[in-house]
Structure 1
Amino acid sequence: MSTVTERVASPPTPPPRRPNWLLALLRNSWRQLTSMRTALVLLFLLAVAAIPGSLLPQRAVNIDKVNDWQAQHPKLFPVFNSVGAFEVFASPWFSAIYVLLFVSLVGCIVPRARDHLRALRSRPPAGPRRLDRLPQHRVLTDPAAADPAAIAAVLRGRRWRVAVRGDTVAAEKGYLKETGNLVFHVTLIAVLLGVALGNWYGWHGNRLLVAGADKTFCNVLQQYDESGLGPRVDASELPSFCLELTDFQATYQPTGQPKSFRATVKVDEQGRPERTAAFSVNDPLRLRHANVYLLGHGYAPVIRYTDRYGRQQTSAAPFLTNDGMLTGQGVATFPDANVDPKTGARNPDQQVGFDGLYLPTAPDSPPYVRSSYPAERNPRLNLVAYRGNLGMDAGIPGSVYRLDQRQIASGKLKQVGAKVMKPGDSWTLDDGSKVEFLGTRPYVTLSVRYDPGELIVLGGAVALLIGLMLSLTSRRRRVWFRVSANPDAASPTDGSSLVEAGGLPRADYAGFADEFDQLVTAVRNGGAESTAATSGDADSVAGDRGAERERTD
């Protein structure tokens, strides 16, 4: 009888699947982006990218300084401007570094936080079979805490996480190191979010405010000397309030160094009754949706001009300070002077302007070019009178603190006299018009700011320091205690026990040997408090080490 063996063909082996190169590229790119090394590199790049914003003038801070830099460096300006060097913090490349750093930090922290939470919930690991191979090792004969439960109680009393497995006690300590590390990085993300929130929804403006009801300032964008709005802030959304400077007090040392500044303002805030508030340099005025900071101060000479037709006009123009002694320089302009009362026609060639230098405390003798003290002890006002076309009708932007030098150079604005005046003095010009120096008003320079992320940044900075201190001061370490019968006992039933201890620091920790000796001493004494091993304890530990070496031999 013959048998027929049928061969069943096995199905063909499918070819190996080729990996998707796009998915592999994305996975590897994500791993590189979320590595701690990449986060550190991006943080360094962010610091380097902020350097041009500190060295070069920024449009959002002071557009006049940008224009001055352009006039001084006409060849370099187009190159720097093309890469956004004058708008660093709003440039695409700075924003790209910022976003990449944020994503990298989130990608680093989330897995580490998950692993840390898992480690907090897990028990300390079981000890190795050979404790004598650990960096720290002791053998105790008949200690006071001779059973695992008693040893565990001693360790818990010293705030160790303990797990008992049979005759072995495992303990671990130092989780605050990783906790502090995570707190540091989480709060760093919070700081970045706070900065971004303040940049998106914050706004700021600078205003020079002269004392007097006629110089009241209201929170309207057009009334700021310099201003900047976040990308998500509209000018119509600014909070409604008005400020009137009613008083300013300043004290100085004999050398002229300032001691204190204090401004008093009348505040009219929408939805609240009118009130009077005082604030100083380190104590800002806090409104509902803005803070007002005091930056500087000076004097605004009050000049009354009576033209040849008898019409009077008064100017209280602030003079910008040139030095620490508050020597001020500015102008007082009267573009509507010498209007014919019969026809109402204004002759643009009969406008009047005064270029002035104000000294709060002038020297006893000329030249009067610099004040010797910031307070008004001997005030003097140097005035140079000009008549002609001030150039204000041409529509060309110019400084309000100096006359148009082009008009003077072209002869359209001519000098008609100069005089040094005291408060109360008057001066009659060649055409019969009169100038009176009535005195001065104080002025203050204010910075009005709203930053919705400042509390987040402040809290994040405090938590960041706390996390950094925890990370630097904590050390992860583990210890094990194993209880066994003493092989050198006279009888196996006499109850003599032997405890073997081992310790392992998870990082460099110079004080771990001393801490381990204290634990061994506490176990030997049954939990009695001891901050350091006494000389007798040290001798006993040395004897235990000798006994261990004898057993090993």
Structure 2
Amino acid sequence: MSDTRRPGELTLRELARWTWRQLTSMRTALVLLLLLALAAIPGSVIPQEGVDALKTQQWRDDHPSLTPVYETLGLFNVYGSPWFAAVYLLLLVSLVGCFVPRIAVYSRALRAQPPATPARLDRLPDHASYRTDLAPGEVLDRAQRALRRHRLRVQDESGGGSVSAERGYLREAGNLLFHVSVLVVLIGFAIGSLLGYRAGSIVIVGNGMANTLTQYDEFDPGSLFSADQLDDFFLDIEDFDVSWIQDGPSQGQARGFTSHVAYAEGVDEPQDYDLRVNHPLTIGDTTVFLIGHGYAPVITVRDGNGDIAYSGPTIFLPENQSFQSIGVVKANGARPTQIGLEGWFYPTYAFTDESGPFSVYGDLKNPAISMQVYAGDLGLDSGTPQSVYALDKSNAELVTKEDGSMFRVDLAPGQTQELPDGLGSVTFERVERWNKIEISQTPGKLIALGGVVLALLGLLGSLFIRPRRAWVRVREDEQGTLVEVAVLDRAGGDDVAAVLEELVADLQREEKTS
């Protein structure tokens, strides 16, 4: 049957084979690895919902025009987006198709015998020769003893014989180990991404939380993770200690902090633990990290009728290392209109004409709040979810003094300030602290760690093990026995001349001491 295809036209099978070869080439794997690195850049620059929902919401509020574009592209959840998953899966397939054949090649090289002795050893860059009165067989025996640390291949030749030796096979094992480790790391990350989760919660010191979805401020599960798989435990933050830098250019910044917690898994008895940065708590399969802390001023808002419309600790988010923090209060129960406050908390309040109010120290030396007041519809009854750290002022008015000048609530702990127009009053009761807790399960972390260790061992083997070949040929002629010796460095850059001299000296030393 004649072939009716045009020149260059491929069948479906040939096209599939060509596509597979292109996908599994080292060039494609490197390009995909570069694309994966580039794709991870937005995840490092743009706040991610699964990492810090608070900063993500702040970014959205500060960039309303870019937010729809970023949401369409999935830039607020880069590592969970379809395009990132596509690049990751293509890279995994490419590496598997690229590495598996190489693993077979390295495996065969690891078991292979040394190559046959070249016909002309004198053409190699590092070679030497000498004559001896010993018989060829005895010289070959001495050569085998001198090269006993090598893998040997003995050949019989006309008028004599040769010994071919090679060492540095573990370099091939290092290459093999490194290629396998890359696959192990990718599999470990894939298991963690699919079967694990990451969640975060801000907990007031003196309070606690149970490991349930309702207790989380943010929750980022893997594709195959179910909320039913959450470990059953509770965690109470009983106390919190902070040490501050007392002098120097970093004066007033936190040196270290420790959260004293009590936890219990299921119905077990509670246990105590000092939770610190880089010293996580492990409960079952769950790891608890302490990643931040801040202040929660206790603020009470009374409406024009004198009724309490809002009261409790309000989480303020630190903006700098002196813990100058921003926060909002939403008194949606105030009558006749809702009341909102937005402003700053200063742990150690100071004021200058040049810079205005600021905090000079992170510790509570002179705490104060300074907040603007808004009255009107804050959108709290619309049913649309709102961030607790942002205030919707689109349908509210800024409260001012009777003369129209700016009005601010400036209070120290224990003070109360009346609001204009009979709106009510604001009381700054005291200051409490909060801890930012990150809770996660990463089932593939040990696999990934093992892959990293294997990669390091393989890389060390590839870099520091020198593959080297040596040959000794013996020929008998009318003038006696001619011994030819040559050494070759397969990796390049090694001084094999010294190795050659040492080998020749060993052979001649064997001869002199016989």
With normalisation by structure 2, the TM-score equals 0.83
Whole-Å separation in 2 of the counterparts to 1:309 and 1:71:
33
Q: Is the 8 A contact 1:301 1:317 kept in 2?
A: yes
Q: Is the 8 A contact 2:376 2:397 kept in 1?
A: no
Q: Is the 8 A contact 1:140 1:524 kept in 2?
A: no
Q: Is the 8 A contact 2:295 2:432 kept in 1?
A: yes
SS in 2 for 1:369: strand
SS in 2 for 1:232: coil
* Aligned residue in 1 for 2:269: 273
* Aligned residue in 1 for 2:324: 327
Q: Is the 8 A contact 2:281 2:287 kept in 1?
A: yes
* Aligned residue in 2 for 1:25: 15
Give 1:426-465 correspondences, 5 Å limit. 426-427=416-417, 436-465=427-456
SS in 2 for 1:189: helix
SS in 1 for 2:484: strand
SS in 1 for 2:219: strand
Q: Is the 8 A contact 2:49 2:218 kept in 1?
A: no
1:322–1:129 Cα change, 3 Å:
closer
Residue 222 (str. 1) matches residue 191 (str. 2): no
- Give how far 1:70 is off: 6.2
SS in 1 for 2:387: coil
- Give how far 1:388 is off: 6.0
* Aligned residue in 2 for 1:479: 470
* Aligned residue in 1 for 2:162: 168
Q: Is the 8 A contact 2:295 2:431 kept in 1?
A: yes
1:236 counterpart letter in structure 2: D
Whole-Å separation in 2 of the counterparts to 1:318 and 1:37:
51
Residue 187 (str. 1) matches residue 181 (str. 2): yes
Q: Is the 8 A contact 1:349 1:388 kept in 2?
A: no
SS in 2 for 1:408: strand
Whole-Å separation in 1 of the counterparts to 2:352 and 2:60:
41
* Aligned residue in 1 for 2:122: 132
1:438 counterpart letter in structure 2: E
* Aligned residue in 2 for 1:397: 385
Whole-Å separation in 2 of the counterparts to 1:24 and 1:385:
72
* Aligned residue in 2 for 1:9: none
Structure 1, residues 377-431: CA drift from partner, whole Å, max 9, x if none?
Answer: 122233556666654223233332354323432889x999755333333456686
Whole-Å separation in 2 of the counterparts to 1:97 and 1:106:
14
Whole-Å separation in 2 of the counterparts to 1:275 and 1:78:
46
Give 1:47-86 correspondences, 5 Å limit. 47-61=37-51, 82-86=72-76
Structure 1, residues 199-221: CA drift from partner, whole Å, max 9, x if none?
Answer: 111111121111123xx222222
1:463 counterpart letter in structure 2: L
Moved more, 365-374 or 248-257: 365-374
1:49–1:399 Cα change, 3 Å:
closer
SS in 1 for 2:359: coil
Whole-Å separation in 2 of the counterparts to 1:49 and 1:432:
51
* Aligned residue in 2 for 1:150: 142
Q: Is the 8 A contact 2:310 2:330 kept in 1?
A: no
Whole-Å separation in 1 of the counterparts to 2:140 and 2:471:
11
1:20–1:411 Cα change, 3 Å:
closer
Give 1:67-466 correspondences, 5 Å limit. 82-142=72-132, 146-156=138-148, 159-166=149-156, 167-213=161-207, 216-253=208-245, 254=247, 255-304=251-300, 314-336=311-333, 348-349=335-336, 353-363=340-350, 369-382=357-370, 391-409=379-397, 418-427=408-417, 436-466=427-457
Whole-Å separation in 2 of the counterparts to 1:309 and 1:122:
91
Q: Is the 8 A contact 2:57 2:387 kept in 1?
A: no
- Give how far 1:499 is off: 2.0
Q: Is the 8 A contact 2:58 2:390 kept in 1?
A: no
The structure 1 residue matched to 2:502, chosen from 518, 534, 538, is 518
Moved more, 457-466 or 118-127: 118-127
1:88 counterpart letter in structure 2: V
Moved more, 369-378 or 146-155: 146-155
Whole-Å separation in 2 of the counterparts to 1:408 and 1:244:
38
- Give how far 1:172 is off: 0.5
Q: Is the 8 A contact 1:143 1:526 kept in 2?
A: no
Q: Is the 8 A contact 1:146 1:498 kept in 2?
A: no
1:455–1:523 Cα change, 3 Å:
same
SS in 1 for 2:494: coil
1:217–1:133 Cα change, 3 Å:
same
1:171 counterpart letter in structure 2: A
The structure where strand makes up a greater share of residues is 2
Whole-Å separation in 1 of the counterparts to 2:74 and 2:375:
43
Larger Rg: 1
2:437 counterpart letter in structure 1: L
Q: Any gaps of 5 or more consecutive residues in structure 1?
A: 1-13, 338-347, 490-496, 529-553
Q: Is the 8 A contact 2:132 2:483 kept in 1?
A: yes
SS in 1 for 2:299: strand
Q: Any gaps of 5 or more consecutive residues in structure 2?
A: none
Whole-Å separation in 2 of the counterparts to 1:266 and 1:368:
42
2:479 counterpart letter in structure 1: D
1:17–1:428 Cα change, 3 Å:
closer
The structure 2 residue matched to 1:501, chosen from 467, 485, 505, is 485
1:499 counterpart letter in structure 2: V
Whole-Å separation in 2 of the counterparts to 1:66 and 1:445:
16
Moved more, 468-477 or 240-249: 468-477
SS in 1 for 2:290: strand
1:370–1:279 Cα change, 3 Å:
same
Whole-Å separation in 2 of the counterparts to 1:516 and 1:115:
30
- Give how far 1:434 is off: 6.4
- Give how far 1:262 is off: 0.9
Moved more, 53-62 or 264-273: 53-62
Whole-Å separation in 1 of the counterparts to 2:423 and 2:253:
43
Whole-Å separation in 2 of the counterparts to 1:312 and 1:462:
58
Q: Is the 8 A contact 2:374 2:399 kept in 1?
A: no
Q: Is the 8 A contact 1:380 1:422 kept in 2?
A: yes
Whole-Å separation in 1 of the counterparts to 2:150 and 2:133:
20
SS in 2 for 1:374: coil
Q: Is the 8 A contact 1:315 1:332 kept in 2?
A: no
- Give how far 1:351 is off: 5.1
Alpha-carbon RMSD: 3.7
1:526 counterpart letter in structure 2: E
Number of residue pairs the alignment of both structures matches: 494
